[in-house]
Amino acid sequence: MDAILITCTNYIALLNEEQLSLPMPIIKIDEPYFDQICQLQQPQMILFTNPATVEGTVKRLNAHAEKYGTVDFEVIIIDNAFEFIMQGLGESYNQEIMNFLYQFNNENRPLSVAQLSMVEAARRYELQTGKTILNPLHALVDSMIVQLELSSLNGL
């Protein structure tokens, strides 16, 4: 095993790395996502489907944002969508998220989905509209590509 990837902000918030002595890095999926959010210098909307994840995510985002100054964002919970995923109705879940995204089709504020379970719907929306939706998975992949490129440059 090369690394541990933690994909849940609530679990990340509970993590006490000082008590762990692991020989591999712990990668927190929300940190590259928070970097992307913080680098935007305009008001934005962050979407959730699971209300239980909002408090921990916002707390970590605000702590992360301290090095950037203030970050202007509005949290929006897509009501009743999370019930679909909990019942194993992934397609209904994705459709509910996409329907919600289409309501904001003319918004000038950047949109992002905060939960990994929302990425598929955001990706479909992007393909259909050409509009970018920030999400933790793409932010992580982008971050890892940069890290790999830097590693290969340093190895030259």
Question: Residue 12 in contact with residue 6, Cβ under 8 Å?
Answer: yes
Least confident of 8-12, 32-36, 116-120, 151-155: 151-155
Work out the percent of the chain whose per-residue pLDDT is above 70: 92
Q: Which amino acid is at 56?
A: G
CA 134 to CA 18: how far, in whole Å? Answer: 31
- On whether residue 20 sits in a domain, the answer given is no
| Model confidence at 99: pLDDT above 80 | yes
Q: Would you place residue 85 in the very low, low, confident or very high pLDDT band (cuts 50, 70, 90)?
A: very high
Largest CA distance in the chain: 52
pLDDT for position 144: 83
Quick check: is 18 in a domain?
A: no
Evaluate whether residue 15 is within a structural domain: no
H helices of 104-154, in order, are: 119-129, 136-154
- Please say if the pLDDT value at position 25 is more than 90: no
In a domain, 72, yes or no: yes
| Residue 22 in domain | no
Token pair recorded at residue 28: 């927190």
Does residue 137 lie in a domain region? yes
User: Would you say residue 31 has pLDDT above 70?
Assistant: yes
Angle of helix 119-129 relative to helix 90-103, nearest 10 degrees, comes to 50
Q: What is the CATH number of the domain that holds 61?
A: 3.40.50.1860
Q: Identify the CA nearest to 46 among candidates 78, 83, 84, 81.
A: 78
> 65 pLDDT band (50/70/90 cuts)?
very high
CB 30 within 8 A of CB 10: no
**Residue 53 DSSP symbol:** G
Average pLDDT, the chain: 88
Q: Does residue 93 lie within any of the structural domains?
A: yes
In b/e form, how buried is each residue of 115-141, taking b as 16+ CB within 10 angstroms? bbbbbbbbbbbeeeeeeebbbbbbbbe
What span, in angstroms and rounded, lies between the C-alpha atoms of 9 and 16?
13
| Cα dist from 30 to 75, 89, 134, 153, whole Å | 16, 25, 12, 26
- Domain total of the chain: 1
- Does residue 118 lie in a domain region? yes
Residue 122's domain comprises: 31-154
